[in-house]
Amino acid sequence: MATVAEKSALPPWRSTVEDHQSGLRLDRWLVSRFPDRSRSTLQKWIERGLVLIDGVTVRPSASVRSGQIVEVEIPPPLPTMPLPEDFPLDLIHEDEHLLIIDKPAGMVVHPSPGSPPEGTLVNALLGHTERLSRVGGENRAGIVHRLDRETSGVIAVAKTDEAHRALSAQFHEREVSKEYLALAHGCPRTVTGEIDLPLGRSTGDPRKQGVRHDSGGRESFTSWQKIATLPALTWLRCFPRTGRTHQIRVHLRAIGHPILCDKFYGREKSANLCNYLPGTSSAPLERHALHAWRLFFHHPVEGTPMRFHAPLPADLRPFWVASVPLEGALEEGNPPP
């Protein structure tokens, strides 16, 4: 059901569907039981796996039947306002409308029921400037798009509501180009490839995403290119066209090349370079090897093309330095990551 961090101090709420309620959509039935909650909020609870029917996660559109037992893990309330924190940000760019940050691995982007209310990027942003867009709400001040906790790299932040709306529109229309670097198990047979597999919430674990060919799957597309190799490992340059949760991680796993140290979708929780290249210095890795390398879009107010990149952080760089680059894999003039 819910993760440990999401669990409320209260026991799960339970109720049995009555005869006259049979056939109602689950989200509509919940509205009748939780009149102080909006339907959209209750739908989010269902999508996060906080609602079970007879012990099984379902979709918001599922119908309830007489005699079924509905169980709800009511999430704890979010703090009304994240507090500013004095945390040094690795600024790539800043102007009147935008901040471009090189996010470190291990930092959650914004407070949520599944993460602590402090130590997030939003807390650090509030400590840096009071001028942040509030389009997404106080808990997501300035946040236009997200990176997973363990994913490092480039993230764009809106300082004004105007910039937020314009940049969100570019993401929605798929006018933003995103490039990631992933160190994956194995070596694909071809130099390039495309993954066109629909993704949705896993039916077995609501914390995970999975390939779904039913109505719960959403269009998801990732292309990739081999750029360097290590024994039993390959550096891939990934281009997600869509922006589904955990998209690159699930897609690479689906083709048999899970990302190194991916605790959810991979094979191990930690790794060391010397185990792949005996004789090399120890270089431990304690998080999944995925880095948001480059981001391209048009300035949301001025309209000028903008290109940003974040170099590989210290924990991933030894794996790159020890690898053998494929000739011509990176365009001429681009520095190695």
DSSP states of 127-144: HH-S----TT-GGGTTBS
SS3 306: strand
Task: Record the tokens describing residue 281, joined without a space.
Answer: 């210095």
Indicate left, alpha or beta for 91 from its phi (over 0: left) and psi (-120 to 50: alpha): beta
> By 3-state DSSP, what share of the chain in percent is helix, strand and coil, each rounded to 5?
20, 30, 55
Q: Which of 1-10, 52-61, 101-110, 244-253 has the lowest mean pLDDT?
A: 1-10
Contact 197, 251 (CB under 8 A): yes
Q: Are 55 and 49 in contact (CB under 8 A)?
A: no
Contact 113, 139 (CB under 8 A): no
Which of 148, 161, 205, 315 is an active site residue?
A: 148
For domain 4-72, the CATH superfamily is: RNA-binding S4 domain (3.10.290.10)
pLDDT digits (tens, 9 = 90+) for 208-265: 899 999 988 999 999 999 999 999 999 999 999 999 999 999 999 999 999 999 999 9
Alpha helices in the chain (DSSP H): 26-33, 39-47, 121-128, 161-172, 247-254, 273-276, 317-321
CA 266 to chain centre: 16
Alpha carbon 124 to its chain centroid, in Å, reads 19
Distance of CA 332 to the CA centre of its chain: 30
Bridging pattern class, strands 199-201 and 209-211:
antiparallel
Amino acid identity, position 257? H
Three-class SS state of 292? strand
How far apart CA 213 and CA 153 sit, in angstroms, is 31
Is 103 a residue whose pLDDT tops 50? yes
Compute the distance between CA of residue 195 and CA of residue 257 in angstroms, rounded to an integer: 12
Sign for the pseudo-dihedral over CA of 88, 93, 94, 99: negative
**122 residue type, one letter:** V
91-172 — its CATH code? 3.30.2350.10
- Segments making up each domain of the chain, as ranges: 4-72, 91-172, 177-325
Give per-residue pLDDT as tens, 306-326: 999 999 999 999 999 999 999
Reply yes or no on whether the pLDDT at 149 is more than 50: yes
CATH code of the domain made up of 177-325 = 3.30.2350.10
Name beta bridge partners: 154: 102
Q: What is the mean pLDDT of the chain?
A: 91
- Of the candidates 52, 54, 30, the one whose C-alpha atom is nearest the C-alpha of residue 42 is 30
Strands 271-272 and 284-285, bridge-based pairing: antiparallel
Percent of the chain with pLDDT over 70: 93
Residues in the chain, total:
337
Whether 91-172 and 177-325 share one fold: the answer is yes
Q: Of 200, 192, 177, whose CA–CA distance to 296 is shortest?
A: 177
Asked if 148 is an active-site residue, the reply is yes
Q: Say yes or no to pLDDT of 115 above 70.
A: no
